[in-house]
Amino acid sequence: MAWPQGDVGAASPLPQPRKAAIDRLLAQVFANEQGAYGGQSWGIVVVSKGKIVAEDYRLGYGPHIAARTNSMCKSLGATVVGVGVRKGLLNLASKAPLKEWQMPGDPRGSITLDNLLHMSSGLYSDGAQDPQTEIYQSGAAISEIAALNMMDSAPGQRFVYAGTDNNLATRALRQAIGNDDTFARFPYQELLWKIGMTRTIVEADWKGDLITSGQCWSTARDFARLGLLYLADGVWNGQQLLPAEWSHYVRTPAPAQPVKPSIGGEAGYGAQFWLFGGIEALPADSFAAFGARGQYAVIVPSHDLVVVRRGFDRQSDFKIQRFVADIIAALDNQKARLVQ
């Protein structure tokens, strides 16, 4: 099938000197720790104006080989929830989206889906640790350790980078659907397969809740497709998959923001996407799916651009904002600041 639904005609060769400039940047990427951007890269995909204009892989990877996304999966989970919102299954403003919170007098009854997506539910969390560690390392079920968790602050007032907020948002979708077989098919039939993300897998816990906090496997091309969906404000092949303005919603700063320095450096936070606008002079509308060890899908609507970088960063973090800024400069036929 034709790109982006399939892979036929995916690439569009760049004219010189833009190609030469991009090639120089990629050489620095795959120089890894010795290069201008650091990290340990295994894949790069650059999509400009809907076509792949640069792509390269190392360490045995390729266009169709999936790897664990880490927290890039949070952005995918929010997108699946967005499909549920468009279908009328969920409402961002409705309180107590989980049945576990609906007993009269339960303080968790004031939590909204919007709070969960903004990482400000008010539920107790030690960030990426407790109770997330119990789910990942001890086999605790989301329906128990997360859904039955206590509150320690009012919803909407404090940002905590808690993967369990994301897991609970997709659990709310499960309860809204009301049929576990339908829910298990939902991410694939209603989103992934519709936009050509056929090599992406979302894992679940042993009780059937999606672990969208980080347990996805996907390719660089598949996350480029997700970026294209957001560039089109949720429209794919003429079908509105996400609510209108959902792309604007996820990149609008959340009411409560990370305390600097955050997990994304100086980045802000929207709704399960990190905000890169202004960092390294990136355009104000730049936002990104971001996962540990250097998993990035950066979306820049003002430049009709998606940049996906996958890696195994250990010694140093990949300088993703600087790389995207240099990509924009190269595509605009300007001198990249780092590599000339």
CATH number for the domain that contains residue 221 = 3.40.710.10
Q: Are residues 119 and 90 both part of a single domain?
A: yes
The answer to whether residues 37 and 89 belong to one domain is no
**180-187 and 163-177 are packed helices; what angle lies between their axes, rounded to 10 degrees?**
120
Rounding to the nearest 10 degrees, give the CA dihedral for residues 136, 138, 144, 149. -70
The percent of residues above 90 in pLDDT, for the chain, comes to 90
Residue showing tokens 């128990």: 144
Is residue 3 domain-resident?
Answer: no
d(CA 12, CA 3): 11
Task: Please report whether residue 8 resides in a domain.
Answer: no
Domain end point (choices 183, 201, 222): 183
Does residue 337 have a pLDDT over 90?
no
Q: In the chain, what's the furthest Cα-to-Cα distance?
A: 66
Q: Are residues 197 and 325 located together in one domain of the fold? A: yes
User: Per-residue pLDDT for 139 more than 50?
Assistant: yes
Residue 235 pairs in a beta bridge with: 240
pLDDT tens digits for 279-299? Answer: 999 999 999 999 999 999 999
Q: Give the mean pLDDT of 269-277.
A: 98
CA 199, chain centre distance (Å): 16
| pLDDT grade for 92, boundaries at 50, 70 and 90 | very high
For residue 8, pLDDT over 50 is answered with yes
Amino acid of residue 201 = I
Q: Note whether 219 and 261 are same-domain residues.
A: yes
The answer to whether the beta carbons of residues 283 and 212 sit under 8 Å apart is no
pTM of structure: 0.96
pLDDT for 333: 81
CA distances (Å), origin 44, targets 58, 75, 169, 221, 309: 9, 19, 30, 9, 5
Residue 133's pLDDT is what? Answer: 86
Rounded to whole angstroms, the Cα distance separating 269 from 275 reads 5
The answer, yes or no, to whether the previous bond of 4 is cis (omega within 30 of 0) is yes
CB 162 within 8 A of CB 168: no
Q: Which of 286, 289, 290 is CA-nearest to residue 300? A: 286
| Residues 148-174: tens digit of each pLDDT | 999 999 999 999 999 999 999 999 999
The verdict on residue 13 lying in a domain is no
For CA atoms 263, 319, 329, 225, give the dihedral sign. Answer: negative
Token pair recorded at residue 2: 């034709």
Whose tokens are 């600087």? That residue is 322
Q: How many CA atoms lie within 13 A of 78 on its CB side?
A: 33
Asked, for residue 6, whether it belongs to a domain, the answer is no
Mean pLDDT in residue range 44-67: 97
From 159, 183, 207, give the residue that closes a domain. 183
Residue 336 pLDDT greater than 70, yes or no: no
Task: Give the residue numbers spanning the domain of 124.
Answer: 75-183
Contacts (Cβ under 8 Å, ≥6 apart) of 79? 191, 226, 229, 242
pLDDT of residue 324: 98
Angstrom distance (rounded) from CA 192 to CA 201:
9
256 vs 337 pLDDT, higher one: 256
User: Are both 313 and 199 inside the same structural domain?
Assistant: yes
Query: Is residue 159 domain-shared with residue 276, that is, in the same domain?
Result: no
pLDDT of res. 6? 97
Nearest to 95 by CA among 112, 118, 114, 116: 112
Residue 339 has pLDDT above 60, yes or no: no
For the segment 305-329, the average pLDDT, to the nearest whole number, is: 97
- What is the mean predicted confidence (pLDDT) over 175-181? 98
258 plus 173 within the same structural domain: no
Mean pLDDT along residues 68-88: 98
Segment 206-259, tens digit of pLDDT:
999 999 999 999 999 999 999 999 999 999 999 999 999 999 999 999 999 998
d(CA 261, CA 267): 8
